[in-house]
Amino acid sequence: MRILVTGGAGFIGSHLVRRLLSEGHNPVVNLDALRYSGNLENLADVAHDPRYAFVHGDICDAGTVERVLKEHNIDSVVNCAAETHVDRSILEPNSFARTDVVGTAVLLEEVRKAKVARFLQVSTDEVYGSVEHGWSKEDDTLAPRSPYSASKAGADLLVLSYWATYKFPVLITRGSNTYGPNQYPEKFIPLFITNAIDDQLLPLYGDGRYRRDWLSVHDHCRAIEHVLRYGAPGNVYNIGGGNEQENITVAEMILKHLGKSMELIRFVEDRPGHDRRYAVDWSRLRLLGWSPRVRFEEGLCTTVDWYRTHESWWRKIKAGEFRAYYEEVYRKRLEEAG
Ligand code: TYD
């Protein structure tokens, strides 16, 4: 396929670009605005691959999207461009509405006009809201509770409207919490790993008993590629990892693997509107022929080792943009926790 990946310099996007190239797709074009979490270092290994092209631009800019689709004769688009962090969405909700909702709306119109053959929206299990029991199915009512998940849910509804209204061949994947190398250290797992390496406190929200189903970024990207090839247009596919864990258990596993003291864990003031649990039923995707391969214990250790051996990657980030954000979100919480 001739694929455009938006947000290809981000965490999931960069792993997806690499995966698509390794699967033989040609070209793989990456359109990325390079905002705070977009980082071309994530793709340094493929930067000179003749099948890969990078375009600096924003999905909200219709002219740029139109030009890229035309210039590269794109037939399939995967939208990974998004603001994705719940805590940031509490601080600045409007940037989420802009990138996640308006950006998706602009993209959809351009891909429809260009008559691309497939459009895949990378979404999240957070659109179902908190599920205390059971597993969310693709047709469940959406009940997002943060500006982030509400923006993603809005985008999902827009995407589905293009199938209902125009029979435009859209697909949606809703992945569970994803982890792996190159994840920006605002997220739980890389924040805890990098803090622990530096013997800094690990700020665990609330009682630490919130539950997430952890999905390796490699399994996640394999699922996206699988849905892009084999998914039925108009359909949503949940992607789960089969690795449901309480946050405190994950924190302990990280500390254990690093040989650090459990005393580094600090229970801090909870995130407002914190969803207790996410869990998806991914039997639809299993029927399509995909299942996860990476065991969490293994994937987590590999991820910890990646951060251990790529200090220059994350130290630059933590000393830069991330610093002021960390102060704002965590300093008071940690001071109050003593
Ligand atoms: P996160 O990576 O922000 O993903 P999401 O909230 O979108 O699932 O957080 C994962 C879990 O970890 C979530 O329950 C919140 C919790 N968490 C902490 O306890 N401390 C932290 O510093 C962060 C970033 C998250």
Q: Where are the domains of the chain?
A: 3-179+214-239, 188-212+243-275+295-337
Mean pLDDT, the chain cut into blocks of 10 residues (338 residues total): 98 98 98 97 98 98 98 98 97 97 98 98 98 97 98 98 98 98 98 98 98 98 98 98 97 98 98 98 98 98 98 97 92 90
Q: Which residues are catalytic?
A: 125-126, 148
pLDDT at position 299: 98
Is the minimum distance from the CB of 187 to ligand 1 under 6 angstroms? yes
Question: What pLDDT score does 162 carry?
Answer: 98
DSSP state at residue 331: I
Taking a C-beta distance cutoff of 8 angstroms, is the pair 264, 202 a contact?
Answer: yes
Cα torsion 132, 136, 141, 142: sign: positive
SS3 179: strand
**CA 254–ligand 1 middle distance (angstroms):** 14
pLDDT at position 15 is: 98
Residue 338: per-residue pLDDT: 80
Contact 2, 118 (CB under 8 A): no
- Could you give the CA distance from residue 196 to residue 259 in angstroms, rounded to a whole number? 10
Q: Architecture of domain 188-212+243-275+295-337 in CATH?
A: Alpha-Beta Complex (3.90)
Tell me how crowded residue 130 is: count the other CB atoms within 10 A of its CB.
18
Ligand 1, atom 25, lies closest to the CA of: 188
Q: Is the dihedral of CA 150, 151, 155, 156 positive or negative?
A: negative
CB 253 within 8 A of CB 297: yes
In DSSP terms, 280 is beta-bridged to: 136
**Nearest-angstrom CA–CA distance, 207 and 217:** 27
E strand or H helix that includes residue 254: helix 247-258
Does domain 3-179+214-239 sit in CATH 3.40.190.10? no
Instruction: Kindly report, residue by residue over 268-311, the tens digit of the pLDDT.
Output: 999 999 999 999 999 999 999 999 999 999 999 999 999 999 99
Any atom of ligand 1 within 6 Å of the Cβ of 251: no
Q: CB of 224 within 8 A of CB of 78?
A: yes
Q: Which residues contact 329 (CB under 8 A, 6 or more apart)?
A: 87, 91
CB 240 within 8 A of CB 294: no
Rounded to the nearest whole angstrom, what is the distance from the C-alpha of residue 188 to the centroid of ligand 1?
5
Check if 192 has its Cβ closer than 6 Å to any atom of ligand 1: no
